[in-house]
A = this chain, B = another copy of it.
Amino acid sequence: MKNCIVAQSGGPTAAINASLAGVIKGVLDQEKYGKIYGSLNGITGILEGRFLDLTETFQDSGNLELLKVSPAMYLGSCRYKLPKLEEGMGDYQKIFAFFEKMEIGAFFYIGGNDSMDTVDKLSAYAEKIKSPVRIIGIPKTIDNDLCVTDHTPGFGSAAKYVAASLLEIYHDTVIYNLKSVTVVEIMGRDAGWLTAASVLARNGYCPAPHLIYLPESAFDTEAFLKDVEGMLGQYNNVIVAVSEGIRDKDGKYISASSGAVDNFGHSQLSGAGKTLEYLIQGRLDVKVRSIELNVLQRCSSHIASLTDLEESFCQGQHGVALAAEGNTGLMVTIQRVSDEPYQVAYGSAPVCEIANGVKEVPAEFISPEGNDVAEGILAYLRPLVQGEPKIRFEQGVPCYLPVRHLS
């Protein structure tokens, strides 16, 4: 009986451990496979022989449930990109020697674009050397920018955090009878999905965010100042959601336009939010503040989306089923069957169709002026943030499973 090994890679999300839990459960439930190993720090764990046997630990369903709701990566991460085959086969030989020694039948790699590139390369190498090891990719990224699949594990939780935060920031700013502008910078370098999700903060009383800017539309500072002024005519407290990746018509990041140098002599590369704060400060007579939603938008498991966690779990399980059926070089995908009632189906696509591509927010989801999203995006976004996981608190603080790669 063959064993399996799983690893996690890239930036953390609140759902990547739910996918790991899905893979583990998939293997435990699958008669075809024996042990489930976990490689520490992504593929580098396999290269360096650092791994754990997860089989025993997660036969305890309590551990599995706790894993599902714990932020970031239980197995640690890496940012290691395999060399191209023609550049040297050393890594490949090491990895497949490990697979042989540990009697591995399938390798599951949970990650974003770069990890799918690794899945692509490893499955091509396996084919070349006629290895029977199945290589399957399980997606994750808060950016929601992977092609082919309807949405990515981790996005729904980050979107829920962004929406809740924008609503809470609205409550915070609206209490004064003074004109103010608050610029909220949200993650997303190449695709504006997460910034677009800020629209979910709007409700019967909350018009915020009043303006939304995505990297998909060229950013014009003069048009922006006009937009803000217009909104200040209607509202006392204007909230602007802006993607960290906004660029001008020449593709130059707005975040890179600050020429500031601090007193240690370092060039201060202000982010988009800070840059727009200074712009407003200099040009409009209004109180202004910028807020960067920093790493908490990707690791705040205490306000994760239950839908996201459950789908991430299912995608992990589905990956195991794909391998057990003999497939390789695939990434698990999720297809939307309907918006209302929200229904999805799990499928797969050749990883080579996904790796290194970027799914941007389509034009029909963006307002013609490029300063808001279009109504149609709500039906797409809304189902992804539904439901709240049960988080246990210990001494008033969330209870999570510790990251294991340190041990």
Contacts and interface: CB of A to CB of B under 8 A. Distances in A.
A15 interface: no
Interface stretch (A24-32, A119-127, A258-266, A326-334): A258-266
B296 A71 contact: no
B259 A270 contact: no
Nearest to A407: B205
Interface string A136-179: 00000000000000000000000010011101110111111100
Contact of A71 (B172, B275, B397, B403): B172
A186 B229 CA distance: 31
Q: Is the contact region of chain A dominated by helix, strand, or loop, or is it mixed?
A: loop
Contacts of A382: 395-396
Contacts of A12: 171-172, 175
A302 interface: yes
Contacts of A406: 174, 236
A23 interface: no
A163 B302 CA distance: 12
Given A160-B397, A169-B299, A259-B262, A403 B175 contact: yes
Interface in A319-346: none
B264 A282 contact: yes
A216 to B, nearest CB: 24
A315 interface: no
Contact of A258 (B77, B79, B262, B397): B262
Nearest to A201: B397
A73 interface: yes
A400 interface: yes
A254 to B, nearest CB: 12
Contact of A396 (B70, B387, B396): B387
A78 interface: yes
A91 interface: no
A134 interface: no
B175 A76 contact: yes
A386 interface: yes
A262 to B, nearest CB: 4
Nearest to A174: B403
B299 A171 contact: yes
Contact of A397 (B203, B279, B300): B203
Contacts of A281: 264, 266
Interface stretch (A93-101, A242-250, A287-295, A347-355): A287-295
19 contacts: A12-B171, A12-B175, A73-B175, A76-B177, A78-B176, A78-B177, A160-B397, A165-B300, A168-B398, A201-B397, A203-B394, A258-B262, A266-B281, A268-B278, A291-B294, A302-B303, A307-B396, A386-B395, A387-B396
